[in-house]
Amino acid sequence: MDKSVIRRAIGVAWFNGWNDIAHAGVTPLVFVAGPALAALLCSFMFYKGRQLEALGLRFRLNRWWLLALLIPLALTAISLGVIALFSPSKMLSLEETAQHLADLKHQQFSNPSSYLIGSYLMGAVGYSALAILEELGWRGYLYHLWRPFGFWRASFAAGLIWGIWHLPMNYCFGANFSEHRLAGLALFPIFTVLFAPLMTFVRDRGQSIRPAVILHGANNAASIFILFSTGEIQFFLAGYVSLTIAILLIVITQRKYGLVADRRNG
């Protein structure tokens, strides 16, 4: 069953991936929908009557919904700190960042802080609407199948599949790597493998797919603030540092509080 969902998700991705983004039409949307389509199909084939459980579609409103929205801000702060310390790139001020974003969106603002907060929240909502199409596969169906094998195994395996699935979008469409497409084939899977434990942790604690969807979407929204101050390669290298710190915090949490168990939580 796990091979079925992986084959279908990646099959949709690679079959639809060989186009230039400017002439792709609806291809990117079909690409992004691959994991959701595969997860829905497999859940109806193999989990009749238990589809919601297999996909993690439980409505359990809790603090992890809010924390999932705030965690990317912490990751962004760490990444910007790393860039400020080690990169020759000039850091943008708060007002310069707001102006850069406003120029891209052809908008105006009166208060840079309010404008950036509003842009972040709107971006998180928009990206989360797309992220659920991915997360139904990764933190939905695959989580249901693989979480009993242990937190770290499930996280790193899903992270690797997540990264491989992205490769057509990275290389053929230039998503995330418009200037360094070949480098992206190696850099992006490393990023998703490092990001996956945090996604699994939020999925565990939130006891549904929704906090993971919010974390995914909010992280995409926050990433633009880092890209304003650095290049693509530096962006991902700084991300490796912030995500490694997140993994260390998860390890500490596991040892001190026992919050991460090698079984499915919820």
Res. 4 pLDDT band, cuts 50 70 90: low
Residue-wise pLDDT for 96-106, tens only, equals 889 988 998 89
Range scoring the smallest mean pLDDT among 66-75, 136-145, 210-219, 227-236: 227-236
Range scoring the smallest mean pLDDT among 145-149, 189-193, 228-232, 235-239: 228-232
Give the number of other CB atoms < 10 A from CB of residue 91: 14
Residue-wise pLDDT for 142-167, tens only, equals 999 999 999 999 999 999 999 999 88
The residues spanned by each domain of the chain are 2-257
Rounded distance, CA 249 to CA 210, Å? Answer: 22
Q: Residue 188: what are its φ and ψ, rounded to 5°?
A: -70, -45
Rounded distance, CA 227 to CA 222, Å? Answer: 9
Res. 1 pLDDT band, cuts 50 70 90: low
CB 127 within 8 A of CB 220: yes
